Amino acid sequence: MTSSGLSRRKLLQLSGISTLGALAGCASPLPGTDDGGGRAVTPRPTVTADPDTSVSLTATSGTIRPASDTSTTTWLYDGQYPGPELRVQEGDVLSVELANDLQEETTIHWHGIPVANPVDGVPNVTQEPVASGDTFTYKFRAEPAGTYFYHSHVGLQLDRGLLGPLIVEERDPHVEYDREYVVVLDDYLSREPRLPSDGGMGGGGMGGMMGDVRPPYEGLLINGKLPENPPTFDVTEGDRVRFRFVNASSATVFGVRIAGHEMSVTHADGQPVEPVGADSFVFGAGERYDVVVEATNPGRWFVQANALDGNEPPARAVVEYESTDGSITPQPPSSSSNRLQYGDLRARSSLDGVSGDPDRTFDLTLSRGRNQSYTWTIDGQAYPDADPLQIRPGEHVRIRMTNQSPVVHPMHLHGHFFQVGNAIKDTVIVPGHRGQVTLDFHADNPGRWLFHCHNLYHLDAGMARVVEYVE
């Protein structure tokens, strides 16, 4: 199945990003930043302090049951799906011992947290993958506060069940709320994930030269449940309820609504924004939004998340007021009239080191590979056969992306937050059909960091680069 022009229009509207003139181009050469590159940065120290929280996670096979008549044996953390929620206080030292009980090697990546490079979990870039039967300890300071998730970063393992939420609680939240729920969205594959070139996408071939195909998902999940078996979020009238939405899917852009309630969007990719009202938002794989809802409309209401580029029935959960008869049919959302756009997001604090002109700019074209095989490229190169993007410590780096394919690419940078418009994020959708997005970041975390599309199939088919610090 290919993505439609309609979803392109929706996404352009979402992001408010222009489709003007596609600039192909190369990175500026590394020498020649005589003034700009000189700001000192202190590398994140490897954490030596005793951990405040120590947990172990075992990657192992297990069975999930997303609905009463459906089950699949797949790969999980601690046999749970989603994996165990890790929850710590901002600034705490978290130590996680990964035990690999799979027959394959694996790693864990802490999506969104700017950890020190050696614990970032990218195989063959920041660590040797953890062999079957081995263990590896990840230790890092959990900051800044936010809604994150952790997942395997090896091959297509994320599209099994190797993922879980990671919540870093703020000491002093900028919004008040009485209770909260973590809402993990996922697409449900009940068989081994494979690339289309390996016969993984069912009957549809590879989607033509330019387009894409979607893995043969059986459905869409909220907190591991199919819509016929929706989880319930209990609320009391008068509560302010915080929902932490995580798009942990491998290939799904979700549009999210809560029936009967206006959302106040309070955090984007975990980082606080000035609260902004919306009745829906769209997010790509790897993005997160926190919203606060005032429970002032008793009843039973669906939280609903539909795939923008898929035709599976929407994922659902039920918001249920304590005062309401639990047998009445939940109400679905009406159509959206006020969808969140990136331009609505205003970060509460600014990112250091990204004001004024950049010291270095990369113009990158995102596209489908030109040959018969299933590849996705950044500037014509498919990772791992791809040049690193070299930067110097302290630089203000700008990446301008132009998407020459018809499908959306949610691009994620490891190890750093970036500024996009007035938001601070770590993952950003680049719309199809010459959509353009510019992001700026401060090179303040030396190491080798992956920059990639968070559509797992695009990543696995080459849509990645290493951002490499050089002295």
Q: Say which residues have a Cβ less than 8 Å from residue 414's Cβ, sequence separation at least 6.
A: 109, 120, 122, 449, 450, 451, 467
Enter the tokens of residue 174. 């900028």
Q: Closest distance between ligand C2O and the C-beta of residue 190, in Å?
A: 22
Q: Which does 288 bind (CB under 5 to 8 A by kind): ligand C2O, Cu ion, none?
A: none
Q: Closest distance between ligand C2O and the C-beta of residue 261, in Å?
A: 29
How far is Cα 308 from Cα 294, in angstroms, rounded to an integer? 27
Q: Does 288 bind ligand C2O (CB under 6 A)?
A: no
Among 8, 139, 151, 392, binds ligand C2O (CB under 6 A): 151
Among 164, 286, 358, 393, binds ligand C2O (CB under 6 A): 286
Q: Please identify, among the stretches 298-306, 321-329, 376-384, 447-455, the one whose residues bind ligand C2O according to the rule CB under 6 A.
A: 447-455
Q: Closest distance between Cu ion and the C-beta of residue 199, in Å?
A: 20
Return the number of the residue (95 or 455) whose C-beta is nearest Cu ion. Answer: 455
3-state secondary structure of 175: coil
- Binding-residue pattern over the window 388 to 427 for ligand C2O, x denoting contact by CB under 6 A: ------------------------x-x-------------
Q: Closest distance between ligand C2O and the C-beta of residue 412, in Å?
A: 5
List the Cα angle 247/157/385 in 5-degree steps: 100
Enter the tokens of residue 105. 């090697």
How far is Cα 283 from Cα 255, in angstroms, rounded to an integer? 7
Q: Closest distance between ligand C2O and the C-beta of residue 178, in Å?
A: 30
Q: Which does 409 bind (CB under 5 to 8 A by kind): ligand C2O, Cu ion, none?
A: Cu ion
Q: What are phi and psi of 4, to 5 degrees?
A: -95, 160
Return the number of the residue (125 or 220) whose C-beta is nearest ligand C2O. Answer: 125
Enter the tokens of residue 246. 């995580």
Cβ proximity of 453 and 250 under 8 Å:
no
3-state secondary structure of 56: strand
Return the number of the residue (64 or 251) whose C-beta is nearest Cu ion. Answer: 251
Residue 146 C-alpha from the chain's centroid: 13
Q: Please identify, among the stretches 391-399, 400-408, 438-446, 448-456, the one whose residues bind ligand C2O according to the rule CB under 6 A.
A: 448-456
Q: Please identify, among the stretches 32-40, 56-64, 338-346, 450-458, the one whose residues bind ligand C2O according to the rule CB under 6 A.
A: 450-458
Return the number of the residue (181 or 449) whose C-beta is nearest Cu ion. Answer: 449
**H or E segment at 243?**
strand 240-247
CB-based closest residue to ligand C2O: 111
Q: What are phi and psi of 125, to 5 degrees?
A: -115, -50
How far is Cα 462 from Cα 456, in angstroms, rounded to an integer? 10
How far is Cα 74 from Cα 61, in angstroms, rounded to an integer? 5
Q: How many residues at the interface with ligand C2O, by CB under 6 A?
A: 10
Q: Which does 252 bind (CB under 5 to 8 A by kind): ligand C2O, Cu ion, none?
A: none
Q: Closest distance between Cu ion and the C-beta of residue 191, in Å?
A: 22
Q: Which does 424 bind (CB under 5 to 8 A by kind): ligand C2O, Cu ion, none?
A: none
How far is Cα 78 from Cα 168, in angstroms, rounded to an integer? 21
Q: What are phi and psi of 43, to 5 degrees?
A: -60, 145
Q: Closest distance between ligand C2O and the C-beta of residue 122, in Å?
A: 7
Buried b (16+ CB within 10 A) or exposed e, 173-208: eeeebeebbbbbbbbbbeeebbbbeeebbeeeebbe
Return the number of the residue (126 or 405) whose C-beta is nearest Cu ion. Answer: 405
How far is Cα 307 from Cα 313, in angstroms, rounded to an integer? 8
Return the number of the residue (152 or 455) whose C-beta is nearest Cu ion. Answer: 455
Q: How many CB atoms sit inside 10 A of residue 136's CB?
A: 19
Return the number of the residue (15 or 100) whose C-beta is nearest Cu ion. Answer: 15
Torsion of CA 308, 311, 315, 320, to 10 degrees: 100
Q: Which does 261 bind (CB under 5 to 8 A by kind): Cu ion, ligand C2O, none?
A: none
Return the number of the residue (189 or 241) whose C-beta is nearest ligand C2O. Answer: 189
Strands, E assignment, 68-159: 70-77, 86-89, 93-100, 109-111, 135-141, 146-151
Enter the tokens of residue 435. 């959509």
Return the number of the residue (74 or 249) whose C-beta is nearest ligand C2O. Answer: 249
Q: Does 360 bind ligand C2O (CB under 6 A)?
A: no
Query: Residues interacting with Cu ion, by CB under 5 A?
Result: 409, 453, 455, 458
Return the number of the residue (148 or 217) whose C-beta is nearest ligand C2O. Answer: 148
Q: Does 109 bind ligand C2O (CB under 6 A)?
A: yes
| 43 secondary structure, DSSP code | P
In the complex, the residues that contact ligand C2O under the rule CB under 6 A are 109, 111, 151, 153, 286, 412, 414, 450, 452, 454
